[in-house]
Structure 1
Amino acid sequence: MTRIFSALALAAALAGCGSDARYATITPEPEARIPSLYGTIEVVEVTLPTYAEGEEIYAQDPDGAIVAFGPLWADLPSRAMTLQLASTLDQITGATVAAEPWPFRDFPAAKVDVRVEDMLATSRGTFRLAGQYYVAPEELGRNRSGRFAIEVPLPEDAGAPQIAAARGQATSQLAEQIARSGLR
């Protein structure tokens, strides 16, 4: 993790010099195709731990403290992750998927609610996304829930661009897990 904190020190120094760099997540093209039991799905806004709700990118230091990395996310993480989950679930399942509020006149067949407990670069050199998801059908099917703990490796001397890319990969992996375990 020392390699990440070398980048942390550099990023903090750059931030102190008036840098206003922002980093968007890169959404990888999903390869999985998993049919859904539901033709329409609403993704409720993702809830995040307090430290991850704002614009700052966070990392865990070797002592376990969660500290601001310096650079900022390009969009609020809950909004960006909700939109990415909706887009990726749409591509994976072939269903009509939209982020809340539901934009159509009819009700969605199911709602997906994701509650994140951890979202940060870890002291182990990974990006961690962990929490629980819930799938609530309007009529057809049964309620489902599942826990997730996804870790994407970060390269040596990882900086904000690599952390942003890892968050995109982790969110895509989460969408695939929800499609496989919660929407079939």
Structure 2
Amino acid sequence: MTLRAAILLTFTAALAGCGGTTTRYAVPSPLAEEAAPRIASKYGSLEIREISLPTYAASEEIATRDADGAIVSEKTLLWADEPSRAITLELSRLLGQMTRAQVAAEPWPFLDRAAAQVDVRVEEMLADVIGGFQLSGHYYVAPDSGIGGRSGLFSITVPIVGEGARVIAAARGVAVRQLAEQIAREGLR
């Protein structure tokens, strides 16, 4: 082994030892026995636009609001997937299960056009110190025909039972499920 190779190997080993452990948290999928409610939709197909999130919520770092009202995050506690992508796919899956419509995230993968597009714009998505996960914003349902569009506000609070990122991830899953149900009941009728 040459001196240069030995120095590079030592330097690489030293750098590897400096890195902290990063932990990623996935939102648990609902269990099969937790059947989604069946909700009739007037649309046979839905395209879910990419979810719009505030900057702090779009980050892979899990954000919380502290006692002073500041939004903080821990660089070593991360979502398992990019939040906008993950929530878009989760909402697509849930709306498909609830409505039995053909549902896909954008870009629409089929040759025919979707009967309607669903656009969700989140204003707030975080856990707070009082033990709740907040999800609020607007949703829009735009039919391909251009007639009969709907919109609505949502403000969902899910209690967080316990501490840590794992329970925050579980609460986010419940909040997105409640959002899907609200969109299906109010926006797709």
Question: How far has the Cα of 1:20 moved from its partner?
Answer: 1.6
Kindly report the root-mean-square deviation, in angstroms, between the aligned alpha carbons of the 2 structures. Answer: 1.5
TM-score (norm 2): 0.85
Question: How far has the Cα of 1:103 moved from its partner?
Answer: 0.1
Contact 1:30 1:172 (C-alpha < 8 Å) held by counterparts: no
Q: Give 2:58's aligned residue.
A: 53
| 1:105 paired residue among 102, 106, 111 | 111
5+ residue gaps, structure 1, are: 1-15
Q: Write the mapping of 1:33-72 to structure 2, written as runs, cut at 5 A.
A: 33-69=38-74, 70-72=76-78
| 1:90 paired residue among 79, 91, 96 | 96
Question: How far has the Cα of 1:31 moved from its partner?
Answer: 2.8
- State the secondary structure of the residue aligned to 2:145: coil
Whole-Å Cα distance in 2 between the matches of residues 36 and 155 of structure 1? 33
5+ residue gaps, structure 2, are: 1-17
- State the secondary structure of the residue aligned to 2:67: coil
With a CA cutoff of 8 Å and minimum separation of 6, indicate the structure with the bigger relative contact order: 1
Q: Does 1:18 align with 2:16?
A: no
Aligned residues: 168
Q: Give 2:86's aligned residue.
A: 80
| 2:131 paired residue among 125, 128, 131 | 125
Question: How far has the Cα of 1:123 moved from its partner?
Answer: 2.3
Q: Write the mapping of 1:142-161 to structure 2, written as runs, cut at 5 A.
A: 142-156=148-162, 158-161=163-166
Q: Which amino acid aligns with 2:183?
A: I
Q: Give 2:3's aligned residue.
A: none
Whole-Å Cα distance in 2 between the matches of residues 109 and 141 of structure 1? 11
Whole-Å Cα distance in 2 between the matches of residues 152 and 174 of structure 1? 11
Whole-Å Cα distance in 2 between the matches of residues 71 and 18 of structure 1? 11
Contact 2:64 2:71 (C-alpha < 8 Å) held by counterparts: yes
Which of 139-148 and 90-99 deviates more?
A: 139-148
TM-score (norm 1): 0.87
Q: Percent identity?
A: 58
| 2:142 paired residue among 123, 130, 136 | 136
